[in-house]
C-alpha cells in the first residue's frame, strides 16, 4: 500500500487488510504510550511491548470495538499511564484548564490594568496640562517682553 498516511514502527505483517480499520488503528496507536519506552507512542516505538500493544489494538478493532472501547480496554488493563493524552477528570483538571485559565486571567488582568492606568492618567490630566497662575503670569511676561520676529507689528 504505497502512499498511505504516516506509519512509523508498524511492521509489514501487522497491517490490517481493511484500510479504514488500519487507519483507525494508526490514529489510536499515536495516542497510546509504549510503557517501557521514554515518551514514545506505540506507533513510533520498536520495542516488543509496543508491537504487542499494536496487535492488541488491531485485535480489538477487528472484534468490532469502537475507538472509545479500545481505549477503555487498554486503560482497564494497563492504567491511565497508557494514554498519552490524559482524560479530562478531577485528577487532571488543572492540567487541562491551566492554559485557558492563564490566557483568560492574563487577558483580564491586562484589561483591568489598562483601565486603571488610563483612568488615573485621565484624572491627572488637568493638573498636568493646565498652567498654574504663576506659570500663566510668566508666560504673559515672556510674550510681552520678547517680540516675535515672525510678526513685525
Partner 1 sequence: MIAEAGHYALVLALGLALIQSTVPILGARWRDPALMNVARSTALAQLLFVAGSFAALVTLHVTSDFSVVNVFENSHSMKPLIYKITGVWGNHEGSMLLWVTILALFGGLVAAFGNNLPLSLRAHVLAVQAWIAATFYLFILLTSNPFLRIAVPPIEGRDLNPVLQDIGLAVHPPMLYLGYVGFSISFSFAVAALIEGRIDAAWARWVRPWTLLAWIFLTLGIAMGSYWAYYELGWGGWWFWDPVENASLMPWLAGTALLHSAVVMEKRNSLKVWTILLSILTFSLSLLGTFLVRSGVLTSVHAFATDPTRGVFILLILCIFIGGSLTLYVWRASALKQGGLFAPISREGALVLNNLLLTTACATVFIGTLYPLALEVLTGDKISVGAPFFNLTFAPLFVPLMVAVPFGPLLAWKRGDLLGAAQRLTAAGAAALIAVAVLWAWTRGGSALAPLAIGLAVFVIAGALSDLAERTGLFRLPLTTALRRARGLPRASWGSVFAHAGVGVALMGIVCETTWNTEYIGTMKPDDVAKVAGYALKLDGVSQRQGPNYREMVAQFTVSEGGTRLSTMTPSKRSFTTRSTTTTEAALLTRGVSQLYISLGDTAADGSIAVRIYHKPMVLLIWFGPVLMAFGGMLSLSDRRLRVGAPKPARATQGLQPAE
Q: Do residues 32 and 79 lie in contact, with contact meaning Cβ atoms separated by under 8 Å? A: no
Return the number of the residue (45 or 60) whose C-beta is nearest partner 1: 45
Q: Does residue 148 interact with partner 1 by CB under 8 A? A: no
In whole angstroms, the minimum distance from the beta carbon of 149 to partner 1 comes to 23
In sequence order, the 6+-apart residues with CB closer than 8 A to the CB of 81 are 33, 35
For 70-103, letters b (16+ CB in 10 Å) and e give bbebbeeeeeeebeeeeeeeeeeeeeeeeeeeee
Q: Do residues 41 and 29 lie in contact, with contact meaning Cβ atoms separated by under 8 Å? A: yes
In whole angstroms, the minimum distance from the beta carbon of 141 to partner 1 comes to 25
Q: Which of residues 74-133 bind partner 1 (CB under 8 A)?
A: 79-86, 91-92, 94-95, 98-99, 102-103, 106-107, 110, 114, 117-118, 121
Q: Which of residues 20-79 bind partner 1 (CB under 8 A)?
A: 30-31, 33, 38-41, 44, 79
Number of C-beta neighbours around residue 127 at 10 A? 8
Chain residues that interact with partner 1, rule: CB under 8 A: 2-12, 15, 30-31, 33, 38-41, 44, 79-86, 91-92, 94-95, 98-99, 102-103, 106-107, 110, 114, 117-118, 121
Amino acid at each position: 500500500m504505497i502512499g498511505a498516511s504516516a506509519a512509523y514502527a508498524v511492521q509489514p505483517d501487522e497491517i490490517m487488510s481493511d484500510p479504514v480499520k488500519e487507519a483507525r488503528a494508526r490514529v489510536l496507536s499515536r495516542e497510546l504510550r509504549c510503557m517501557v519506552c521514554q515518551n514514545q507512542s506505540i506507533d513510533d516505538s520498536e520495542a516488543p511491548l509496543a508491537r504487542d500493544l499494536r496487535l492488541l489494538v488491531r485485535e480489538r478493532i477487528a472484534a468490532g470495538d469502537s475507538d472509545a472501547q479500545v481505549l477503555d480496554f487498554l486503560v482497564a488493563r494497563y492504567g491511565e499511564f497508557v494514554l498519552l493524552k490524559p482524560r479530562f477528570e478531577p485528577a487532571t483538571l488543572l492540567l487541562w484548564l491551566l492554559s485557558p485559565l492563564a490566557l483568560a486571567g492574563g487577558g483580564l488582568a491586562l484589561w483591568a490594568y489598562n483601565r486603571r492606568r488610563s483612568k488615573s492618567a485621565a484624572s491627572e490630566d488637568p493638573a498636568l496640562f493646565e498652567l498654574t497662575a504663576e506659570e500663566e503670569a510668566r508666560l504673559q511676561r515672556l510674550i510681552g517682553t520678547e517680540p516675535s520676529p515672525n510678526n513685525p507689528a
